Structure 1
Amino acid sequence: MFDKAVNREFRNVGYAGARRAFPGFPPRSAALRELLAPRALLRLDMAEGDILAAQPLGQGQALALLVLDRRGQPRPGLLGLAADAPLAADSFESAPLLGWIAGQGGAAAVPLRAAEVPLAGLAVLKAAAACTVWAIRPVAAAELVGAASAGLVEISLKRAADGNGVPLPPALGEVREEFTVRRGTARAYELEPGEIVQIIDIEGQQCSDFMALRRDPLETGAEMMIDTTATRSMVRGAYPAPGLLDKFFDRDLRPMMNLVQDTCGRHDTFGMACTARGYEERGFPGHLNCSDNISGALEPWGVGHRPAWPAINFFWNTWIDARSHGLMTSESHSRPGDYVALRAMDRLVCVSTACPDDLDPINGWNPTDVHVRIYRPDAPIRRAIAFREKEDAAMSISQESAFHPATSKLTTHFAAARDLWAPVSYPGLGTLGEYWACRERATLQDMSSLRKYDIVGPDAERLLQRAISRDVSRLAVWRGTYALICDEAGAVVDDGTLFRLGHELFRWCCGSEESGRVLAAIAEAEGLQARIHGMGGALPNLALQGPRSRDILREIVFTQPTVPALEHLKWFGVTVARLNDRDGIPFMLARSGYTGELGYELFCARSDAPALWDAVMAAGAAHGIAPMGSAALETIRIEAGLAAAGAEFAPGVDAFEAGLGFAVSLAKSDFTGKAALARNARDPRRMLRGLMLAGDEVPAHGDHVLAGERPVGAITSATWSPIHERAIAMARIAVEHADTGTELSVGQLDGRMKRLPATVCDIPFFDPKRERARA
């Protein structure tokens, strides 16, 4: 089935072995490396000699490959495969493929037949000629919602080396011009309004200085360039800043460029390009430097020579030391193929360098080349940033949620939530209006950034019993429970809701991919017969929350008699439902949420997401339903006393200190972290408590909580509470000062100069007995 000349080298050696056997094997030299979720598809334009690798993240995965030649005709033999299975359009998110086929004039026959590639381990295929490959994970929507069908597959593509032996990421659109800036040099170029420049770190850890000047003023001798002070003031950014700013301005406060995509996430936004003087004072006279290179590159446009150029230092990793307030630097975070893309907002002359510094960690002590691509104004390049679930994991560019067709009609205010763009607020109501809609009526929120894992197999219960803090043996089918995954020290690694969908089938809905790694490590270490299937973006979900949520669902939910009906769902109950009738959209329905209100969560296939949103909103219109964003949810969850990662729980904070002791079952058999938690429960040092502040000023995360002059705790989360009409906060406080009614203060202005009076109180701040959620 596979290309024998390639796969002979990799039989039974696994992924790590393949990397050792094949020099430059993905991921380090991969032009593309992505995770393919169930029902997802990925288009790969391959040239002769390109190598495709597919690695299952879990057991029992399968992959379908549709291979088409330049004329759009099926040619699986180009990858050494045979098309031997029909490919049903409703078994995956087929719209991009069908649209592409239509754009090719329908040359490829429909219905299609694809090659099935069972993945017991690593599969490697080599292209015998240029071809278009669609990698597809076909899974029926109903099977996805109600059963553990499949997990993730990592797809890597290694390009046959070009003439320079340079692996470059795929182009983002139609390229007008591209060139390589060789190490230790600089090159200037012009941009027209709307054009996008992409600056690519070819080999990783290479600083590239950048500056832009308006072209028209140069004709009169005026040098109007990106101004660091103006930009910092306009975007309210600190100096220096990890990541990039949204826009860059000149000294007259007019925007010049705006950020489109960034895959690195750490840059020195306002440093100086390296200078001759800097090297001379270290004993290296005559050393190449970026400032002189920039001056030389800009000379044809009449720009005057400068001994030191201000610049945006792409891929330079800097930060401010919290103690000394000094500017610190170390090796870059950028990996091979990382890039930044910016759009020109005027006619510009730009310059990019490949920094020659070989004396510092700026370039990893090894200066390399930088590649520049310029795209035409009509190139369909969407705004995005990179997301990696782990430092060495495949990169994904932030995607629009499956519900984006609906939410984007109601708001333009989105923020990155892991690898998705999530609505922050809806201007029709505003954050406060969304808050009251949730408290008094009902709201619908896109929560698709939640991570989902299916755990299936004869040892699934045993695995979860070892991994999580609750007693899984007591969890009945069609029930769920809030639980924690802890490390050996009792610190919370992740939290989530565990649903039991069958005797040997569980679904873990959690906050981060670390859950999947922990579960897989325990299963492997103990030889357990259980599979962990990461769902990726295959199961987007909505949160329908508020006192009218059940009334709304009554109008649209259909359930079979073999599963719990809507009226039978108690708190943390779960079922499989359909929209309106037995032939409607399938979705998993759970009575759960993150608001403390009566509420439900709905999980469906991506292709069904817009229709499900529309159906819930239509049914809710008579009940006053409103969309809700993340800003309102933050206030609501703090009032409800619900913990958040990076706030209430973080590395070094155990479950009891995070206020999550209620989710720890110390009476159950051993689980990771139990010994430490049992010890800490007997002799706690800190407690999570509430603070009622005297006024409306909201403290920041990390602000000191003071008893007199002594710090006795720290703020974890805070907000202005509409219910209490004052600021409230959750804080981790020493037990000696944690009694209800204790008068403390929150320190600001370096923790000392300004005090906010506060009184210790119980959590939650609202509905202390959780009666609304249980209603």
Structure 2
Amino acid sequence: MGIIQQFERPATVGKVLVPGMPVLPLGVERHPVPGGGTRAVAIEEGDVITVVDRAGLQLCELVFFDPEGKSDPARLGSGASDEPSGTRKILGSEEASAKRVREALAKSGFDLGIARCIRLFGDGSRAGNSASFTAQGPGLLIVAAPGEAMAVDEQNAPTEIVLYVKRANPVSGKQRRQAPEPLAKPLIDKNILPGEAFVYEVKKGQYIQVLDVQGRECSDFQALDMRAVEQGRIAAIDPTTTRSLSGELYPKPGLFARYYSVDMQPLIELVQDTCGRHDTFGLACTARYYEDMGYPGHVNCTDNINRELARFGLPAQGGWPAINFFFNTMLDDANAISMDDPWSRPGDYVLMRALTDVLCISTACPCDIDPANGWEPTDIQVRVYDEHEEFPRSIGFRMTVDADVQPTKKTAFHDCFAQHTRDFVEYNGYWLPNKFNGHGTIAEYWACREKAVIMDLSPLRKYEITGPDAEALMQLCVTRNMKKLSVGQVVYTAMCYDHGGMVDDGTVFRLDQNNFRWVGGCGTSGLWMQEQAEKRGMNVWVRSSTDQLHNVAVQGPRSRDILSKIIWTKPDRQTVDELGVFRFTVGRIGDFHGPAVIVSRTGYTGELGYEVFCHPNDAKAVFDAIWEAGQPYGMIPFGLAALDMVRIEAGLIFAGYEFTDQTNPFEAGIGFTVPLKSKEDDFIGRAVLEERNAHPTRKLVGLNLEGNEVPSKGDCVRIGRAQVGEITSAVRSPILGRVIALCRMDAAHAEIGTNVEVGQLDGFQKRIPAEVVRAPHFDPTKERVKGNYA
């Protein structure tokens, strides 16, 4: 990845690193091209074009049109000339990035049918390989990362190409970012400079985008009911009413996305939010604030709002309540309000929809005396779009702090589950069903315990690890012994940092001698493996296949009966009936001609169960077949709320709860994944884990609690005045008839039968008696997973 590091450097403010605000050299632009996608960029004479194969083995095609529409690779200084077959295939598809490129070609009048291309990378290309070209004249550059739909038993997932353009004539002086391209053709497109306010009318159904152009800039926003404005009165968004009705400090895209006036009328609905952190308590900045800070006469948003709204005959306010987008405030345990730099990055935005005719006002906050705008006020862009545009609900997701923001995606199974519920929540960058109101969480729970359920697990991160050093890399990066893993076998394991803290937990599938697949909850696990391979110069590729493999879990006592009716396998493959615990098979739905699937005997419920993986194009057919076969057995859909109940009963751990990067596998309750005696090879974190195993300080235990109150994650566990542990997860168990919890306990007090108290309020004023018990609470011998029950 050396070439990427040449272009991208972490930003610094003084000596403070700000990795969320990466700095490109003056005149350098970065354009990611998704695997299987394409990108079009205008080029000027002398521009230096560099393309990088980020993960390796990814074909790249470059097509360049001059202003007359002639396509000639020589205009990039290359003698290569090939048919752009991959580019044409992408642009003939419904792939998300292809639409903009088709529009660019149509606008220019260029014909891809006569184009020639430069073809790069592909077979044998290493992660980080790059190629550079200098434009001999102006034109339109199209970069494509072609790739076929990946079969479930193959590992050729298309991956990202990164394009850098070093402009021959960069803007002189300090580089100032321009606002990103509009989401659609805007009706209003206004740049607001620091210390200014902008008032604008928005009709019912129209969309409002408030965009932080440079990053770290607060924008006060208010919407007033236009009917009230015409009567000379104020009916505006009221933060207190909004928080009370939504149960959130501020609305988020999803079910509870509306901003209300004081009379509880919805005015605005939040559709997209790429930042997710906004002000929750205060007013737009006021003259009094600056006066009290010793800056009388400082320009402020409230005065700016008053001035603009005076034109509509509205009375001035001493302080305007506002939705302070991107303003980072917080409450501490003593209810004191504090602030810090905003979380917003360059280009972050919120997108709203007007639920009635409204008069809106937006500001670019002028505050330069505290961290509200990162100490340096910058500009805000406001755009209004037509009501007939279609924008999906989305919460911005970043895999790492410096990664590109991604919209919340729908899994390939989303529409199948959406027939049964509207209650979806964001998880790991995807929308997943939380519960199904036609059944309810308790009914879903009992169906899993007694019959069968189907749930969407597509957000799990999948990585393909291939090459001569694949086994060596896996042996280094995970705690289990990969040398003992057979083809067709799956193993549950931990992945650790050098200090023993966990990167992730997940499963490893062995597809062949040098072919592995990692399935985990966190995308950084794949990045960690990529870093280790590069650091050690290993001959191995680690490529993401998350978008090529979506999966559902079929769990419950009747899951085998259901899948055995519809999964066809070749004679040399195990059938579902023959499939042992932690084994997988490759098959098809129905018969030889059906959609291809991988079926693994794995799950996250503590029940007999399976996971079914398929390409997204086949998801509907796979779901429909499972659903139809499951109806005679009482199968119902299963949501995240019910999943949390069964996994806590089964003692199954969850990232951010039972483990973090400060928790080792022994402390997370999965010490069985660290075979220090039988795995002789070294692995990352081994030395520390050997010491922690010999001298444990914390241990994951079960608690049985008195009464029916369910504690929260993080509640303290005490003996007398001393805190000896904390709750990681808790639930009222339907099958056990009591409240149970998982608890990270000081090893000195982890003995079975120890009496403790769970502290609430301040940890002392409310105490719930509890007893340390063995975890898991339910089916500790795993008989149900083995299927050895009636």
- 8 Å contact 2:43–2:141 — kept in the other structure? no
| Conservation of the 8 A alpha-carbon contact between 1:572 and 1:590 | yes
Q: Which moves more between the two structures, 324-333 or 437-446?
A: 324-333
Give the 3-state SS of the residue equivalent to 1:146 in structure 2. coil
1:675 aligns with 2:687: yes
Q: CA deviation at 1:238?
A: 4.2
TM superposition shift of 1:715: 0.6
Distance 1:240 1:625 in 2: 34
Aligned residue number for residue 765 of structure 2: 753
| Residue number in structure 2 paired with 1:8 | none
Q: What is the aligned counterpart of 1:149 among 156, 159, 162?
A: 156
Residue type at the aligned position of 1:15:
I
Q: 1:439 to 1:70 in 2, by over 3 A?
A: farther
| Structure 2 residue ranges without an equivalent (≥5) | 10-21
**Matching residue of 1:62:** 59
**Structure 1 residues 583 and 467, CA gap change in structure 2 (3 angstroms):** same
Secondary structure at 2:688's aligned position in 1?
helix
Give yes or no for contact 2:456–2:552 (8 Å, CA) kept in 1. yes
For the structure 1 residues 716 and 318, does the alpha-carbon distance in structure 2 shift closer, same or farther, using more than 3 Å as the test?
same
1:728 corresponds to: 740
Q: Measure, in 2, the Cα distance between the counterparts of 1:17 and 1:451.
A: 28
1:689 aligns with 2:708: no
User: Are 2:318 and 1:311 aligned?
Assistant: no
Deviations 1:148-185 (A, max 9, x none): 22453144587999999752223222311111111211
**CA drift at 1:351:** 0.9
SS of the residue corresponding to residue 392 of structure 1 reads: coil
Q: 2:718 aligns with which of 679, 700, 706?
A: 706
| 2:144 aligned partner | 135
- 1:16 aligned to 2:24? no
Could you tell me how far apart the structure 1 residues matched to 2:682 and 2:230 are? 76
Does the aligned pair in 2 maintain the 1:545–1:599 contact within 8 Å? Answer: yes
1:529-577, CA deviations, whole angstroms, 9 ceiling, x for partnerless residues? 1111122322111111111111112122122234433333211112222
Query: Partner of 1:147: helix, strand, or coil?
Result: coil
Matched AA of 2:198: R
**Does 2:650 correspond to 1:640?**
yes
Q: Map 1:639-658 onto structure 2 (within 5 A).
A: 639-658=649-668
**C-alpha displacement at 1:245, in angstroms?**
7.0
Q: Out of 183-192 and 677-686, give the one that drifted further.
A: 677-686
Q: Aligned letter for 1:288?
A: V
Q: Aligned pair 1:770/2:782, yes or no?
A: yes
Once residues 691 and 112 of structure 1 are traced to their aligned partners in structure 2, the CA distance between those partners, rounded to angstroms, is: 68
Q: Indicate the SS of the match to 1:233.
A: helix
- Mean CA deviation greater in 175-184 or 82-91: 82-91
Q: How much has 1:740 moved relative to structure 2? A: 2.3
Amino acid in structure 1 at the alignment position of 2:689 = L
Report if the CA contact (8 A) 2:507-2:519 is conserved.
Answer: yes
Name the SS for the 1:614 alignment partner: helix
* 2:400 is equivalent to residue 397 of structure 1: no
Compared CA separation, residues 239 and 179, structure 1 to 2 (3 A) = closer
2:37 to 33, 41, 44: 41
Q: Give the counterpart letter for 2:715 in structure 1.
A: D
**CA 1:538 to 1:754, structure 2 compared with 1: closer, same or farther past 3 Å?**
same
- Shifted more, 554-563 versus 348-357: the winner is 554-563
Provide closer, same or farther for how the CA distance between residues 305 and 88 of structure 1 changes in structure 2, counting only shifts above 3 A.
closer
What residue in structure 2 maps to residue 118 of structure 1? Answer: 121
- 1:84 corresponding residue in structure 2: 83
SS of the counterpart of 2:397?
strand
Q: Distance in 2 between matches of 1:711 and 1:67?
A: 66
Which residue pairs with 1:415 in the alignment?
Answer: 425
Partner of 2:200: 189
Contact 2:703 2:741 in 1 (8 A): yes
1:461 maps to what in 2? 471
Name the counterpart of 2:530.
520
Question: How far off is 1:637 after superposition?
Answer: 0.5
Query: Cα distance, 1:263 vs. partner?
Result: 0.7
| In structure 2, distance between residues paired with 1:74 and 1:580 | 50
- Of 546-555 and 280-289, more deviation after overlay is shown by 280-289
The answer to whether the 8 Å contact 2:697/2:747 transfers is: yes
Residue aligned with 1:15, SS: helix
Shift of 1:706: 2.2
C-alpha offsets along residues 512-537 of structure 1, whole Å, 9 cap, x if unaligned?
A: 12212221222122222111112232
TM-score scaled to structure 1, two decimals?
A: 0.89
Indicate conservation of the 8 Å contact 2:150/2:548, yes or no: no
Q: Which residue of 2 aligns with 1:7?
A: none
Assess, with a 3 A threshold, how the Cα gap between structure 1 residues 85 and 46 changes in structure 2: closer, same or farther: closer
- More divergent stretch after superposition (530-539 vs 396-405): 530-539
Give the superposed CA RMSD: 3.5
1:184-583 to structure 2, matched below 5 A, reads: 184-238=195-249, 246-322=257-333, 324-583=334-593
**Which amino acid in 2 is paired with 1:16?**
Q
By how many angstroms is 1:197 displaced? Answer: 0.7
Residue deviations 1:194-218 (CA, integer Å, cap 9, x gap): 1111011111111111111111112
| Greater shift in the superposed pair: 130-139 or 706-715 | 130-139
Q: Deviations over 1:350-397 (max 9, x none)?
A: 111111111212212211111100011111111101100111111111
Among 593, 598, 601, the alignment partner of 2:603 is 593
Question: Equivalent residue for 2:15?
Answer: none
SS at match of 2:160: strand
- What number of residue pairs does the alignment pair up? 754
Q: Does 1:631 align with 2:628?
A: no
Alignment partners' CA distance in 2, 1:267 and 1:33: 28
Partner of 1:167: 178
Q: Distance in 1 between matches of 2:252 and 2:567?
A: 48
Q: Which moved more, 1:682-691 or 1:112-121?
A: 112-121
Asked whether the 8 Å contact 1:585–1:608 carries over to 2, the reply is: yes
Task: Check conservation: 2:258, 2:268, Cα contact below 8 A.
Answer: yes
Shift of 1:735: 2.8
For residues 293-341 of structure 1, what are the alpha-carbon distances to aligned partners after superposition, in whole Å with 9 as ceiling and x for unaligned? 111121211122223222111111222234x442222222111111111
Aligned partners of 1:277, 1:240: CA distance in 2, in Å? 28
- Between the aligned partners of 2:585 and 2:90, the Cα distance in structure 1 is 22
2:19 aligned residue = none
Aligned to 1:3: none
Give the Cα–Cα distance (whole angstroms) in 2 for the partners of residues 51 and 244 of structure 1: 47
After superposition, give the CA deviation of every residue in 1:401-439 in whole Å (9 maximum; x if it has no partner).
111221122211111111111111122211111111111
Within 1, Cα distance between the matches of 2:189 and 2:745?
57
**Is the contact made by 2:145 and 2:159 (CA closer than 8 Å) also made in structure 1?**
no
Bigger drift between 515-524 and 490-499 goes to 515-524
Q: Unmatched 5+ residue regions in structure 1?
A: 1-11
The code of the aligned residue for 1:645 comes to A
The range that moved more, 637-646 or 235-244, is 235-244
Q: CA deviation at 1:281?
A: 2.7
Distance 1:262 1:618 in 2: 37
Once the 2 structures are TM-superposed, how far is the Cα of residue 112 of structure 1 from its aligned partner?
11
Q: Shift of residue 94 of structure 1?
A: 3.2
- The secondary structure found in structure 1 opposite 2:442 is helix
Moved more, 122-131 or 697-706: 122-131
Distance 1:88 1:395, change over 3 A: closer
For the 8 Å contact 2:145–2:160, the answer to whether it is kept is: no
Residues 409 and 93 (structure 1), Cα distance of their counterparts in 2 relative to 1, 3 Å cut: farther
The letter for the 2-side match of 1:737 is: H
